[in-house]
């Protein structure tokens, strides 16, 4: 089997560990196989691939898109190391307002499947990090929303001992209690 799918403590967030075939020439691994993902409960169709590069200490997030542009994502760190964070913003979820933090790196090659209904962010722990991720809806700037990364009500433990580098947009995101939860239409 080319993947191990591990359920997390938050329903529908799935950590994916690909099988890596390595030898003295390098390595090979599958990063996505529709039939395997479908048979393990990830029944989505990806429509856009994204690639980002960020320097050490950069924190991006917490971002999400509203209906009808909400996105599920498959996140992978291809170079470097990050802490990846997914915050449950599904109002009817038992884990509403809770988050999962996991390390994704070029060494462990793990991927995180984040279903729609989550805000997403990450912080770079290495000199730089390259991320490759798939989304189920195309990016729409009018549907983009965010939550302040340091909101005390959510109290995310980012696992860092430094002041992160933020965009102006991420410095000024609203607190979780101030966002319009009427925009959260997730099944």
pLDDT tens profile 39-70: 999 999 999 999 999 999 999 999 999 999 99
User: How far is it, in rounded angstroms, from Cα 174 to Cα 63?
Assistant: 11
Tell me, yes or no, if 63 is annotated catalytic. yes
Q: Give the structural domain span for 140.
A: 3-183
Res. 1: pLDDT tops 90: no
Write down the pLDDT at residue 94.
94
Determine whether 133 is an active site residue.
yes
What's 52's domain CATH number? 2.60.120.10
Which of 63, 64, 99, 120 is catalytic? The answer is: 63
Q: Is the pLDDT of residue 92 over 90?
A: no
At 34, give phi and psi (nearest 5°): -50, -45
> Is the per-residue pLDDT at 104 higher than 90?
yes
| Distance between CA atoms of residues 21 and 28, nearest Å | 5
Catalytic residue (choose from 69, 83, 99, 133) = 133
Is the alpha carbon torsion for 115, 74, 76, 163 positive or negative?
Answer: negative
């Amino acid at each position: 089997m080319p993947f191990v799918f591990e359920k997390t403590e938050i329903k529908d967030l799935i950590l994916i560990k690909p099988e890596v075939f390595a030898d003295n020439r390098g390595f090979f691994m599958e990063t996505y196989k529709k039939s395997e993902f479908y048979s393990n409960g990830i029944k989505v169709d990806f429509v856009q691939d994204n690639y980002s590069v960020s320097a050490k200490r950069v924190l991006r997030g917490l971002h999400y898109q509203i209906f009808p542009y909400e996105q599920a994502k498959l996140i992978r760190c291809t170079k470097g190391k990050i802490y990846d964070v997914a915050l449950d913003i599904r109002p009817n979820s038992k884990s509403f307002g809770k988050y999962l933090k996991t390390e994704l790196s070029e060494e462990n090659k793990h991927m995180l499947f984040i279903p729609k209904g989550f805000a997403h962010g990450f912080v770079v722990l290495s000199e730089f990090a390259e991320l490759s991720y798939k989304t189920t809806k195309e990016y729409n700037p009018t549907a983009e929303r965010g939550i302040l990364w340091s909101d005390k009500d959510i109290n995310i433990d980012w696992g860092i001992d430094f002041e992160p580098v933020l965009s102006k947009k991420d410095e000024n995101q609203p607190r979780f209690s101030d966002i319009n939860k009427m925009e959260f239409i997730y099944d």
